[in-house]
Homo-oligomer: A and B are copies of this chain.
Amino acid sequence: MRNVANRHGFSEIQMPTFEDLELFTRKSGPGIVDELYAFKDKGGRDIALRPEMTAQVMRFYVSDLSTRPKPLKICYFGPCFRYENPQAGRFREFFQFGAEMIGSQTPETDAEVITLAVSQLKVIGLKGFIVRIGHIGIFRDLLKQFKFSDEEIVDALHHLDKDNADEFKKCAQRKTVPAETIDQILSMRKLKGGIDVLDSVESESAKSYLREVTEYLSALGVKDWQIDLGIIRGLDYYSGLVFEIDAPNLGAEKQICGGGSYHLVPLFGGEEVFTTGFASGFDRILIALENEGWKHEEKPLDVYVLSIGDGTRKQALEITHRIRRSGLSADFDSMRRSLSKGLKYASLISAKKTIIVGEKELSNGIVTVRDMASGDQLEVKIEKIEESLKS
């Protein structure tokens, strides 16, 4: 995932594991404290283990990165923490990979961020996942036409996100939104499918924005996605395009990635700037991969060096050193085992080849190289060992 991000021009940064509690409540509100590992340190300061990394990245952008050339493309990976009941795919310590693009406000910017998230999943070999793209700006713009304040918009979107039509209607009626428009908003929220579902949307700017994004996605190699205007993400800071990626094999907790464009920099004291990004749940992605039959396999050792008898030990270590220097992985028998026990260990750790260093052979300047899969053995001159291993 790091390599893919690098190939897409994102640079990795690393943020501290804990911060002042205030950093996280500033972004997510005081309610977040219940879900945090928050505590007082020995100096009486309120600190918290990070529940996510975007707030940290915003703080760091404002303090250290704001004068960098735009767009700034950064990514990060590390453990995050939440105090919740653990369940499948929901751990108290979990790993997030995230990326943010700061400073360019075009449809291709959002397309690039989605492309990175999708390309990472493709490269690591996940097959079953669904990319859904929405646009929270469509709802925001509509509500603004009826003079909703920022707080009222947050409230209304929250009700839409929670699928609470009655509460939404109450909000809308208070602002004298016509019944027809209320119905239009409620049904827009159900729009899901190909680009054509946008035909019934009134907002020309959002429509053409999403059309451009999907056209660029296709150019960047992302052909499979669906429009889903039901992605509301009841969070104050999402402003325009939003997207989610699900791995259906995960069942109820199937979301493995979420993102979109958002407003957070001013909250941390910086100047308004367009920001878009995502965070992927690394643990869930691993579980989804495992559900598809993927197994973590340890890299086998290239060469195991086995010395027979005390007199050959030093040269066995020298041979090990030479093989390592040639770039291969190598280990030696540090337990002074017999030939048969040494070979058994070599096969237990899945070594590809074993070099047997015997006294008689050594006095003739040769060692035996055994291919562990076939059992074939070959006598090789000491000075030709590296060469013989290349073939």
Contacts and interface: CB of A to CB of B under 8 A. Distances in A.
A139 to B, nearest CB: 25
A23 B109 CA distance: 47
Given A109-B334, A221-B325, A335-B104, A299 B39 contact: no
A273 to B, nearest CB: 12
Contacts of A103: 335
A330 interface: yes
Contact of A215 (B17, B108, B314, B331): B314
A321 B40 contact: no
A239 interface: no
A325 to B, nearest CB: 7
A329 interface: yes
Contacts of A106: 334-336
A6 B298 CA distance: 10
A30 interface: no
A324 B7 contact: yes
Interface in A318-370: 318, 320-321, 324-325, 327-332, 334-336, 345, 348-349
B324 A11 contact: no
Contacts of A29: none
Given A17-B79, A70-B335, A331-B73, A108 B325 contact: no
A220 interface: yes
A45 to B, nearest CB: 11
Interface residues of A, number: 60
Contact of A9 (B119, B331, B335): B331
Interface in A29-82: 37, 39-42, 49, 69-71, 73, 79, 81
Q: Nearest 6 A-B pairs (CB), nearest first?
A: A9-B331, A39-B39, A219-B317, A69-B348, A104-B334, A104-B335
23 contacts: A7-B324, A7-B327, A7-B328, A8-B324, A8-B331, A9-B329, A9-B330, A17-B17, A18-B49, A18-B93, A41-B83, A69-B345, A101-B334, A103-B335, A104-B334, A104-B335, A106-B334, A119-B324, A215-B314, A216-B313, A219-B318, A220-B320, A221-B325
Interface of A: 6-9, 11, 16-18, 37, 39-42, 49, 69-71, 73, 79, 81, 83, 93, 101, 103-104, 106, 108-109, 111-112, 119, 215-216, 219-221, 298-299, 301, 313-315, 317-318, 320-321, 324-325, 327-332, 334-336, 345, 348-349
